[in-house]
Chain A
């Protein structure tokens, strides 16, 4: 993953609440077996309306999206984060995010910045003609004249973002601890292991609803 320390540029001043993942990327785009190319389907329904914010030349290619409460609610599809990344969005600023989406965003180097609604309201106005800067070093969102808003970020996620760390690789280095846990589990809760006995699934006729 590419390290991210700063996202700066124009921002889509959208402000929409409860943006669900079906809006970010409709289900028919989910048939891909790749991560790339989903930008074409991003916000497809919104974009079908004339004069929509995503096709407004003032904001074309903006690296930042400003949204309302509960951004990314709905399904767990990481395609939503891939679609945003593919259309060039590197950060989303909103009063709240769905738990699953914020995890997916982080894993794709997209910064999910939580700011209170008052700050969002101000940014929505400012962003119509001024750039916005998100700095992970100082944990601030700044605009040229009006403002400076501080935010917090989970320390681990911040470090992963700033150093571009491979989380799977990090956890694989904990192999000894995981193996130790598995041994203890095998003693305490042996029924969790499916290695013996039940491993072969799906014997015809054995099932009930």
Chain B
């Protein structure tokens, strides 16, 4: 009898079981642990007070990102500038002293490799196919784009992984999200993932690990795949995965922390066995057709509130579920929108191009293509925050920074920035932001801030027109 066909998730899970327990849960080995300043201080404190050490510093990588201001970090003489916010400075300082005390590899705020933890992991080749990757941040799901089981954890789990390099987990259900066909003109990975979340809902993936499949996913670059897997969590799924293939291997080869030489060959040989077998069973399958996906954006305060840019603000009564109707009324009130209004008539005051969802080189190229030769509209503040120092350097080598600067965009230092408004980059109350980030929650980009999630090209289009815009008119 041939062995039972298995999914990508089942194969990677199976390779990481340290111990199976009677109740069905497993002790799972963690190959890669990313650490940042916000969710780790209490974990290191827990280790310290219990007299515990970090089991595998070599499988751990720390980098500051959430709190760092995106303004200049050194003065003209190259001296480090102090961080104005005392609490941010203390948290960043705590990370620096914790990594020194526990011997954890660390990328300093001033290193060119510094960046958003989910940009840095793949970029350094720290994230690899077939690995288990965790970080105290829900957008760890992004790393699944390379064929890893990657998910966000809380601080107690950060402490558990630091101390034991394992987690106690129960296997998830599996959901295949297949996107068939090929993307239309002006449609990007962000539009695809927004369409997926609009379809399954913000809680649709709860309890599942999603595997994204189909021609559209296969045709995407690793950068595009990272955007999709990143927002698995907005669809409720703790992790999203994409089978590793030649695109993945080409992306990883030669990266700083990726295997080299004979070890690389051996790794690739194993990685080729990971894609889901023919006949593998998923607990649920959802299919979308690329021809139904247009440049899209959100209108409300949940990432499931998705409409095409050609659409209008929906009426709350158009939803079948009474509690959704109530939520929609509240959302529209918060967002300052009225049903029936054309999305393209909505004016914006802020544009944010950045975040772990959309701050990679391809994202910046797509935005620059729209910005090139145009000007940011009067009354709009637009900022571009590269995902890492390496992305920034690459963009500058390509002249993208000049295109943005000439068009009136601010060109900033890497970090999480206005995605969650933890550093000084905030949207003022009642003002509206076209944002390439991942969450449009109430108050996410600052108290009272109104967020529309969209792709980098759509964000650039909104910046130059001063209103939400169908990017296809500008390219």
Contact = CB atoms under 8 A, between A and B. Distances in A.
User: Do A and B assemble together?
Assistant: yes
Interface of A: 17-18, 20, 22-23, 26-28, 30-35, 45, 68-70, 73-78, 81, 96-100, 103-104, 107-108, 154-156, 167-169, 171-172, 174, 177-178, 181-182, 185, 189-195, 197-204, 206-209
Contacts of B270: 189
B87 interface: yes
Contacts of B137: 75-76
Given A103-B157, A191-B128, A195-B58, A203 B422 contact: no
Nearest to A117: B323
A5 B259 CA distance: 49
B388 A209 contact: yes
Contact of B42 (A34, A69, A177): A34
Interface in B247-274: 254-260, 263-264, 266-267, 270
> What are the nearest 3 A-B pairs in CB distance?
A191-B259, A76-B152, A78-B154
Given A28-B422, A77-B39, A202-B111, A178 B166 contact: yes
Contact of B441 (A22, A30, A76): A22
Interface centre among A74, A174, A192 (most CB of B within 10 A): A192
A76 B45 contact: no
A73 B202 contact: yes
B203 A74 contact: no
A104 B42 CA distance: 13
A5 B306 CA distance: 43
Contacts, number: 227
A104 B390 CA distance: 34
A137 B416 CA distance: 44
Nearest to B170: A154
Nearest to B111: A202
A81 B70 CA distance: 29
A27 B420 contact: yes
B168 A209 contact: no
Given A96-B203, A168-B50, A194-B58, A33 B160 contact: no
A55 to B, nearest CB: 18
Contact of A104 (B124, B154, B420): B154
Given A27-B421, A31-B67, A76-B137, A178 B236 contact: no
B168 A167 contact: yes
B447 A26 contact: yes
22 contacts: A18-B302, A30-B66, A31-B88, A32-B87, A75-B420, A81-B154, A96-B206, A99-B238, A107-B154, A167-B156, A168-B46, A171-B163, A177-B19, A178-B18, A189-B267, A192-B128, A201-B113, A201-B124, A202-B124, A204-B112, A207-B390, A208-B390
B439 A74 contact: yes
A88 B87 CA distance: 25
B107 A168 contact: no
A75 B50 CA distance: 27
Contact of A70 (B19, B124, B206): B206
Contacts of B254: 208
A76 to B, nearest CB: 4
A208 B255 contact: yes
B405 interface: no
A81 B155 CA distance: 10
A148 B388 CA distance: 54
B377 interface: no
Contacts of A78: 39, 42, 136, 154-156
A159 to B, nearest CB: 9
Contacts of B207: 99
A32 B66 CA distance: 13
A193 B394 CA distance: 29
B163 A207 contact: no
A39 to B, nearest CB: 16
Nearest to B360: A209
B38 interface: yes
B211 interface: no
B193 to A, nearest CB: 16
A35 B158 CA distance: 14
A17 B323 contact: yes
Contacts of B394: 208-209
Contact of A18 (B18, B88, B202): B202
A18 B442 CA distance: 11
Interface stretch (B1-9, B22-30, B312-320): B22-30
